[in-house]
A and B are shown apart, each in its own frame.
Chain A
Amino acid sequence: MRDAAWRSMRAAALVAVVACACAAGVWTVLEAAEEANEIVSVAKRDFAAAGLGRRGLDALMEKDGRVHLVVSPGEMAALAALRVPYAVETPRLVQAASRALSAGGGLNGAYHSSFELATDLRILERDHPGLASVREIGETLEKRKILALKISDNAAADEGEPAVLFVGGHHAREWISVEVPYLFGKYLLEQYGRSQEVRDLVDASEIWIVPSANPDGLEYSIHVYRYWRKNRRANVDGTFGVDINRNYGLAWGLDDLGSSGRPGSDVYRGTAPFSEPETAAIRDLFAGRDFRAMISFHSFAQVILYPWGYTTAPAAAAARLDTIAADMSGLIAEVRGSVYTYGQASRHLYVTNGDTVDWAYGLAGAPSFTIELPPVDIDHGGFFNDEAAIGAIFEENLPAMLYLTRYALDHPLPVRPPIRPPRDRARSSAQWGRTSAISTLSIR
């Protein structure tokens, strides 16, 4: 009886081990086949001579006299055993695919997601060694990297050259504002070897590009709610988000017209200046560098705004700022006739406090501008732009960006920062897309 029980247990253990091993083995083979397959190419004549067409190999395509195959490690070994010369094409094709697929095919179409942007910035860095350097200037609340592309003749080194910043994506839903600075960086790198103007600018300066200052918000606007504006801070009252363009340190929280202390507001300024990792990243980027100008891209309205936003009183350098804005507006109009009006932010659009441009200008007097990109109004798309319009919007802004970069190189900042004028009051902005409180939800 004891022997019978022992035999049962031994058989059970054996079968269990064999069953598990078989299942694991089968799966391991399947998994390996799925994960370790390679794309190889074989000369067409070798393909025919070795009779590979009859061996059930997975042929992808025929190109330039070579047959491309998807092969498992075992099949690759078989090719070697048959002495069929082959070339592994996977890295080259994946690289080509990553170029083709980035910023295309995703939920937001031709616009960049955070993942696509990171991929594309790394591709720019890889394709332009020496000229491009991608820096991680911060990390968001959801652990995404805030990336900056530095373009200079010796990008890896900090040489203390005059710097200019082009930043986009402060507001999550303003997708076009990510594309314009990104495309500017791409343009500079691709034209460096072809355009003397670009070469001169890049050699003499550090051009910093932060296409997406709010990657978490961007992802939320792609995946959950298209018109999301803020970052993804979980506020104490259960609402989400801080408007990071109200979280900078100049005139932060000055009043409740230019920002809000109510967490549920679309213009919630946060609990303290630079409380958000996104604004802290931009602040830290400025530290120790000679930033002489900046543009913060937003949408929509087709306007160029300059400080101050927090007060209707003019900035000390108002005349100079107005001239630069006028020049940029004129350059934009020359491309295809688009009209970008311009003026002091608080007077031309609405009052803001704690915004990027006021802070950057207040820091050392650097000419700083907000450009509200197309469309001109909600009738023509609001925060939407047709994918086909991305290139055209970039192209019309390109001369203005080149102009401001040149201006920054030619105009060192004054030694003393401008004195801030006294505060006043102005009208508040209207926001769209409010939080709604609900008590019940319908069920299907």
Chain B
Amino acid sequence: MKRTLMPIAVLAGALLLAGPASAQLVLGQYEDEAPLGTWNVFGAPSAQAVGMGGAQFARASDAAASLANPALLLTLPQLSAFVSGSYAIASLFRFSLVNTGVVQSTGNPTAAVYGIDGGGLAVRRGDWAFAVVAAAPESYGRPSIAVGSAGYELSFEQTGGLRLWHAGVARRLPAGLSLGLGVSYAAGRLDRTTVERAADGVRTVTITDDRHETYRGLAFNGGLTWSAGKGLTAGLALRAPFTKKGTGRSLLRYQVPEAGTDIRIDAEAGNAYRQPWIVGAGLSWKLSGAWVLAADAAWFGWSRYSVAYFGEPLARTFRDIVRTGAGVEYLAPAPMFGRSARIPFRLGFSFDPQPVTSVRSSYPALTFGTGLALRALAVDISGAFGRERGSGRSLKSGRIVLTVRYIFQE
């Protein structure tokens, strides 16, 4: 009975807690709808993958793998659940009012976000495996701004994020092959408010620019793995293009209460963000009982990204990019309380070019991780730290991910 209730409780907790936390590493791409950190978001890698350079197409530790390559679900235990959270801190230079002409910063503003990235449950029975996952892979938050002097104030706030509710299925095929398919319902929001207020003792003028967007969309992904023997696994993953559609509402307002002036410009329109193809390939190689190597490459077709915003196409001249990552894991035996336990040590590297062509920037990052696996419970913690190259701003980023996994049935 306990074994039945526990995974449901873990999943319910994850679903309740899942919020728009950052699941990204780097910052510096400035459009409002840009995910905080990087444009290149595919899946929501948990700590094990983050520690190994983000490699997630040929190796899985929990149900989060279904978002990247659902075929990997067949490599998981018969019944397992996970919950994952992160803390990310990163600098960015130019966004909205900041360093675009209105507010100048003397350094790179810093943003920090934390929260639950996701949770999920994976089940394997015979040649089939299934997973349900809730994840918050994208955050649209920005550092808030509050500047002013006597009689003058200017403030800016932007919050938002994208959540995914995902279901995946995998089927074992002959000849060491596995095939997986997934579908995700994406829903999110982006809220942005700018307020400028000037008072001269006679009157107070307030200008408000208030915008709210909601998103929704359906995304399909799939994957294939091939166990080639001798510990070698190859993975192929793809996500079909999908459109985040939604409604945008805007209110521009000019108020001078002393003069009875209140001018409103309201707008409402359909918005659409057409996300591109992503195709990934990965390899993992279990060298022995203790050593594992993994490497990934993912192509993002950003040149076909398009945005329709309040009835107009927005210019987004992007380029296709290939993100790469690789890592190594060593599992050290560590008997604890008289029981067999293992401590993983992970080290990796990733290279994450950004699609924006106006600033040709890339983010090399070092990753590492450790944890503890004690019987059915595994706790992994990983960090990824990078520095941006290309813009001349030396943007920095860091992210720590904690994932707790419980195996109910091996």
Contacts and interface: CB of A to CB of B under 8 A. Distances in A.
Given A23-B238, A105-B269, A381-B261, A439 B106 contact: yes
Contacts of B196: 226-227, 433
A260 to B, nearest CB: 15
Interface in A386-409: 386-387
B310 A105 contact: yes
Contacts of A11: 173-175, 177
A116 B96 CA distance: 22
A23 B236 contact: no
B136 interface: no
A443 B198 CA distance: 24
Contacts of A187: none
Nearest to A389: B263
B226 A224 contact: no
A217 B174 CA distance: 61
B266 to A, nearest CB: 7
B100 A105 contact: no
B320 interface: no
Interface stretch (B44-52, B202-210, B284-292): B202-210
A441 B145 contact: yes
B408 to A, nearest CB: 30
A5 B175 CA distance: 8
Contact of A444 (B148, B159, B256, B310): B159
A236 interface: no
Contact of A438 (B105, B173, B194, B310): B105
Given A15-B179, A226-B209, A436 B252 contact: no
Interface in A218-277: 220, 224-228, 230, 232, 238-241, 264
A99 to B, nearest CB: 13
A382 interface: yes
A436 B104 contact: yes
Given A105-B267, A443-B144, 5 more contacts: A8-B177, A101-B311, A224-B102, A240-B100, A241-B101
13 contacts: A8-B176, A15-B177, A23-B222, A101-B311, A105-B268, A106-B311, A106-B312, A228-B102, A238-B104, A436-B147, A438-B145, A441-B145, A443-B144
B99 interface: yes
A442 interface: yes
A19 B236 CA distance: 10
B313 A115 contact: yes
Given A16-B236, A435-B102, A224 B96 contact: yes
A264 B100 CA distance: 11
Given A105-B310, A382-B205, A436 B103 contact: yes
Nearest to B203: A379
A444 B157 contact: yes
A442 B101 CA distance: 19
Contacts of B159: 444
Contacts of B134: none
Given A106-B310, A387-B265, A438-B106, A12 B226 contact: yes
A319 interface: no
B259 interface: yes
A32 interface: no
B110 interface: yes
Nearest to B108: A441
Interface string B217-246: 000101010101100000010101100000
B241 A226 contact: no
A378 B175 contact: no
Contacts of A107: 211, 250, 252, 267, 310
Interface residues of B, number: 69
Contact of A239 (B101, B146, B211, B266): B101
Nearest to A444: B144
Nearest to B225: A12
A437 B104 contact: yes
B309 to A, nearest CB: 8
A441 B179 contact: no
Contacts of B105: 437-439, 441
B254 A381 contact: yes
A26 interface: yes
Nearest to A34: B243
Given A26-B240, A109-B265, A438-B104, A19 B179 contact: yes
B378 interface: no
B238 A7 contact: no
A238 B98 contact: no
B175 A8 contact: yes
Contacts of B111: 443
Nearest to B254: A384
A432 B222 CA distance: 55
B195 to A, nearest CB: 11
Given A378-B203, A379-B261, A442 B144 contact: yes
Interface in A12-51: 12, 15-16, 19-20, 23, 26-27, 30-31
A120 to B, nearest CB: 13
Given A240-B101, A435-B102, A7 B175 contact: yes
A207 to B, nearest CB: 28
Interface in A96-124: 101, 105-111, 113, 115-116
Most chain B CB within a 10 A radius of its CB, from A11, A23, A239, A440: A23
A379 B209 contact: no
A380 interface: yes
Interface string B143-165: 11111110000100101000000
B109 interface: yes
B102 A225 contact: yes
A378 B205 contact: yes
B348 interface: no
B372 to A, nearest CB: 32
